[in-house]
Amino acid sequence: MKGLRRNIAENKLGVTFCLLILIYMLILYLEVAGFRLQVAIFPLIFLTLTSVCAILKIMLDLTNSTYLQRLDGISFFKMETKKPPSDPSYEKIKLKREIVYIISLAILFGMVYLIGFLPSAFIFGFLFTYQSYKKFKKPILISLLLTLVTWLFSLVLPGELWRGILLGA
C-alpha cells in the first residue's frame, strides 16, 4: 500500500491527466452510442484505442511494472535520449510545461464542444504556431492549411464533423 501511495504522489499529474482523458472518452462514448454502426465505427476505434492507452498509462504510473515500462518506452521517433538534469528549476519548468499542455488540451476540447471542430482546429492551430513564429502571416497560413486538410479528410469519412452547440444545428 505504501508503494501505491508513493507512486500516486510521484505521478499525480499523469494520473489526473489520464483520468480526465477517460472521462472525456466516456462522454464521447455516450454521444456515439446514438449513431448508426456505419457512422460510429471510426470514432469507436479511436475512442477504444485512446481509452486502452490511458488505462495502461494509469496502470504504469500506479504499479511501475517492468513490462509496462518497456511498453511505454516504445516510440517511433528518438526523443530526449539524454537524461534531463536534476536541476530544481528544470523540474519547475517541466511541471509548468505539463500543466500548460493539459490546460491547452482542455481548452481545445471545450472549444470543439462549443464552436465545433473546424473553427477550433483553426484557432488552436493558429495559437499553437503563433507561439513559435510571433508573426501573423505564417501561423494563419499554417492554420488555414490545417483546417483545409481536416475538412478534406472529413469529406472522406462517413458522417459529419461536430459543429458545436453554439454554431451547429
- DSSP letter string over 80-149? --SPPP--HHHHHHHHHHHHHHHHHHHHHHHHHHHH-HHHHHHHHHHHHHHHHH-SSHHHHHHHHHHHHH
Q: Which of 36-45, 75-84, 135-144 has the lowest mean pLDDT?
A: 75-84
pLDDT greater than 80 at residue 25: yes
Cα 109–Cα 166–Cα 169 angle in degrees, nearest 5:
110
User: Coil, helix or strand for 64?
Assistant: coil
Residue 165 has pLDDT above 80, yes or no: yes
Domain boundaries along the sequence of the chain: 1-74, 82-169
Q: What is the mean pLDDT of residues 59-70?
A: 73
Cell of 161: 464533423
Q: Are 129 and 142 in contact (CB under 8 A)?
A: yes
Quick one: DSSP state of residue 164? -
pLDDT band for position 131 (cuts 50, 70, 90): confident
- In the block, cell 456505419 appears at 38
Asked if residue 158 has pLDDT above 80, the reply is: no
Cβ atoms of 116 and 163 within 8 Å: the answer is yes
User: Across the chain, how many H-helices and E-strands are there?
Assistant: 7, 0
Average pLDDT over residues 122-137: 86
This prediction has a pTM of: 0.48
Q: What is the pLDDT of residues 2-11, one digit of tens each?
A: 677 777 777 7
